[in-house]
């Protein structure tokens, strides 16, 4: 045994192979493990350790490397650990507990998103957006330390000031805290103390039960009286533009109105998932995870036939963007809003399609649900209808497209004009 001093540690040599432990002569169970360096010319690896007994079992525990710990700090740490062992406390359990308690919101969000096959890319994007905006100040905060007071305060801030402190954002607040609730629930299942009990036993987001703002569901859509004018405007704009990006945005908007498709699913559509001869398009991995083959109306077929293929780009609505396709037809949507006389968002075109089908074409609601790739909730529809290959609903989607075209003819005071073909 030797006295583990800084002078001794600095001069100690490592064996040629394996390792050697030097035990301190004054603190029984406190030692220095010395091993050859990973690279020639480097100092030996020197690590402080302790050895004791807990419940009759011999335990060796690593304190840390010399450099991370000074000799004085390592000695004090060793004395504390050895005393804990004498009292029956296993330092390995304490280390596991400390690691679980220290898990941050950033750690949890990454673990939640990285689960194979659990989340779609769009869902992961929503989580990441809220973690880095709504809860940016909490990124490095241990998730177990988030309190009910923290939650209430931040929720009120979002309701009254939003992200930038200028205007309240109740929608963002509700969505953000729904994300946080899911992450904390996940953490309570994933991270355990040494005895197997969860690090988090109570979700602080539950404190918002009495404060949660009930938002009115969005009902906005293109008014029936404006559908024809909007369609005529879209046809005029596509005939007037020679810009590839603008044309793709216009055509995407028309496709959304003709199909009721979700924006991201339509925007990312590729030519290999379109069959114009048979009149269908395929969504292999939609939001509800139900792969579906959807029928195309003659108007939708004409629209897609008129689109030029872009060499080296497989997307139907090709763009110069990094994704290779239009992300958001924002400018076209703004112009549609002006014609419609009300603010129109991308999802409102989907809502317009549904309303036309049910209210104006008298289609059974479950058929429109299927055409918009919602799995019907009714027992018969849910268990006995074909919900993937929907070619049998082509008459229904054709009815909707015909109604749109009829409204356009009435708005222009002319007969129905076939969609102009583009080279």
- Give me the tens of pLDDT residue by residue for the chain, a chain 423 residues long: 889 999 999 999 999 889 999 999 999 999 999 999 988 888 899 999 999 998 889 989 999 999 999 999 999 999 999 998 998 888 887 777 777 788 899 999 999 999 988 887 778 889 999 999 999 999 999 999 999 999 999 999 999 999 888 888 898 999 999 999 999 999 999 988 767 788 899 999 999 998 898 887 778 999 999 999 999 999 999 999 989 999 999 999 999 999 999 999 999 999 999 999 999 999 998 877 788 999 999 999 999 999 999 999 999 999 998 899 999 999 999 999 999 999 999 899 999 999 999 999 999 998 999 999 887 666 555 555 678 899 999 999 999 999 999 999 999 886 544 554 444
Domain finish residue from 159, 175, 208: 208
Q: CA–CA separation, 79 vs 62, rounded Å?
A: 13
Domain membership flag for residue 99 = no
Looking up residue 381, the CATH number of its domain turns out to be 1.10.443.10
Domain finish residue from 62, 89, 116: 89
The structure's pTM equals 0.64
Domain membership flag for residue 96 = no
Instruction: Judge if 192 and 315 occupy the same domain.
Output: no
Instruction: Judge if 255 and 400 occupy the same domain.
Output: yes
8 Å CB contact between 351 and 219? yes
Across 397-418, b (16+ Cβ under 10 Å) vs e yields bbbbbebbbebbeebbeeeeee
Q: CA–CA separation, 66 vs 19, rounded Å?
A: 15
Q: Please spell the DSSP secondary structure of 207-253, one letter per residue.
A: GGTTT---PPPP-----HHHHHHHHHHHHHHHHH---HHHHHHHHHH
Instruction: Judge if 300 and 408 occupy the same domain.
Output: yes
Looking up residue 141, the CATH number of its domain turns out to be 1.10.150
Domain membership flag for residue 213 = no
Q: Please spell the DSSP secondary structure of 265-319, one letter per residue.
A: HHHT-BGGGEETTTTEEEESS-TTS--EEEE--HHHHHHHHTSPPBTTB-BTTB-
What is the domain count for the chain?
3
DSSP 8-state assignment for residue 48: E
Domain membership flag for residue 419 = no
8 Å CB contact between 183 and 109? yes
Instruction: Judge if 160 and 262 occupy the same domain.
Output: no
Q: CA–CA separation, 422 vs 247, rounded Å?
A: 11
Instruction: Judge if 275 and 405 occupy the same domain.
Output: yes
Instruction: Judge if 248 and 377 occupy the same domain.
Output: yes
Dihedral of CA atoms 129, 135, 141, 146 in degrees, nearest 10, equals -130
Domain finish residue from 26, 56, 89: 89
Domain membership flag for residue 176 = yes
Instruction: Judge if 362 and 269 occupy the same domain.
Output: yes
Instruction: Judge if 237 and 386 occupy the same domain.
Output: yes
Instruction: Judge if 70 and 144 occupy the same domain.
Output: no
Tokens of 33: 């493990």
Specify the residue for token string 């805290």: 177
Looking up residue 75, the CATH number of its domain turns out to be 3.30.160.390
The domain of 125 spans 105-208
At residue 316's C-alpha, the angle toward residues 315 and 322, to 5°, is 35
Is the sign of the CA dihedral 12, 16, 21, 25 positive or negative? negative
């Amino acid at each position: 045994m030797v006295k583990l001093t800084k002078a001794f540690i600095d001069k100690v040599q490592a064996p040629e192979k394996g390792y050697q432990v030097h035990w301190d002569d004054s603190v029984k169970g406190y030692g220095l493990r010395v091993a050859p360096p990973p690279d020639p010319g480097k100092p030996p690896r020197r690590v402080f350790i302790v050895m004791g007994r807990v419940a009759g079992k011999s335990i060796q525990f690593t304190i840390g490397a010399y450099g991370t710990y000074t000799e004085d700090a390592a000695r004090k740490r060793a004395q504390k650990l050895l005393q804990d062992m004498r009292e029956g406390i296993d330092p390995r359990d304490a280390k596991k507990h400390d690691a679980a308690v220290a898990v941050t919101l950033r750690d949890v969000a990454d673990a939640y998103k990285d689960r194979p096959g659990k989340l779609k890319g769009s869902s992961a994007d929503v989580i990441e957006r809220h973690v880095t905006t709504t809860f940016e100040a909490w990124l490095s905060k241990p998730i177990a330390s988030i309190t009910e007071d923290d939650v209430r305060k931040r929720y009120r801030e979002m309701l009254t000031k939003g992200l930038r402190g200028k205007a309240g954002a109740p929608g963002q607040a509700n969505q953000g805290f729904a994300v946080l609730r899911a992450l904390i629930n996940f953490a309570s299942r994933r991270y355990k103390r040494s005895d197997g009990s969860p690090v988090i036993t109570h979700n602080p987001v539950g404190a918002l039960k009495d404060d949660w703002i009930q938002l009115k569901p969005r009902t906005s859509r293109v008014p029936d009286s404006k559908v024809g004018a909007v369609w005529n405007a879209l046809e005029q704009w596509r005939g007037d533009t020679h810009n590839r990006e603008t044309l793709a945005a216009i055509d995407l908007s028309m496709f959304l109105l003709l199909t009721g498709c979700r924006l991201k699913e339509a925007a990312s559509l590729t030519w290999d998932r379109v069959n114009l001869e048979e009149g269908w398009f395929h969504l292999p991995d939609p939001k509800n995870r139900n792969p579906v083959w959807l029928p195309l109306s003659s108007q939708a077929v004409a629209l897609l036939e008129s689109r030029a293929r872009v060499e080296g780009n497989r997307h139907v609505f090709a763009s110069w963007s990094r994704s290779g396709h239009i992300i958001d037809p924002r400018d076209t949507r703004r112009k549609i809003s002006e014609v419609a006389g009300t603010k129109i968002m991308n999802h409102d075109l989907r809502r317009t399609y549904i309303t036309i089908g049910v209210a104006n074409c008298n289609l059974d609601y479950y058929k429109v649900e299927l055409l918009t790739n919602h799995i019907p909730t009714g027992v018969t529809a849910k268990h006995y209808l074909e919900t993937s290959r929907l070619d049998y609903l082509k008459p229904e989607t054709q009815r909707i497209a015909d109604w749109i075209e009829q409204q356009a003819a009435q708005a222009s005071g002319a007969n129905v004009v076939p969609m102009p073909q583009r080279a």
